Amino acid sequence: MNHRSKRSALDPWDIGFGVVVFVGALLALFVWFPADIPTGFFFVNAIGREEPGDAFFPIILALLLLVLSVLHLVQSFYRSRQGNNAPATGELTSDNFKFLFIFIALMTVSLAIMYWLGPLTVAVLNSVGWLESSYRALTDTAPYKFIGYVVGGFVMTITLIAWTEGRIRWVAVVSVLITLTVAILIFDLLLKNVLLPPNADY
């Protein structure tokens, strides 16, 4: 009886967010992707070799969102059973919009660096006579293919971490570098037919 009296009401915003993400991930996996992406998770190319299809990364992302939404819902129900109320949702304030503006600005700058730094570097090297090739021809050539991804990815993650923690710690820097390195090993070395972002756009 004491256990029941300890329960708190579920936060509708908390539950609603989890349900929306969960349903959206299911719709993407079973409705949107099968109808809109022709090659699926894997496909066999013209020479009979199996390789990641157009839906490879979208499916991974949707599965990740599905898992995270389930974990979010489980946490919400568990918090309710333990009698811990979720923080009050409150109202929109100028601080909310300030947060959103800073977040969008950080993401925009980081993605711009990721997209343009590689081609800009190649253009500069061409202008001084150290290189004679277009970036399009070098999208699968080291170190040029890594420039935008590494620098843009590092700027994006380290600034978000520093913003959240209020400081830059060497542990965060090392963690970001390790994460970027692992991603390169997976997507550049193990998955031979996958180009690191944003190289597939060139």
* ω into 143 cis (within 30 of 0): yes
Q: What's the token pair of residue 99?
A: 């947060």
Angle at 88 between CA 10 and CA 26, to 5 degrees: 50
Above 90 in pLDDT, residue 159? yes
SS (H, E, C) 92-139: CCHHHHHHHHHHHHHHHHHHHHHHHHHHHHHHHHHHCCCCCCCCHHHC
Higher model confidence: residue 23 or residue 139? 23
Q: What is the pLDDT of residues 4-32, one digit of tens each?
A: 445 566 677 778 888 999 999 999 999 98
pLDDT of residue 78: 81
Above 80 in pLDDT, residue 60? yes
Above 60 in pLDDT, residue 87? no
- Spatial distance between the Cα atoms of 84 and 87, rounded to a whole number of angstroms: 9
Look up the pTM and report it: 0.65
Q: What is the pLDDT of residues 88-128, one digit of tens each?
A: 556 678 888 898 999 999 999 999 999 999 999 999 999 99
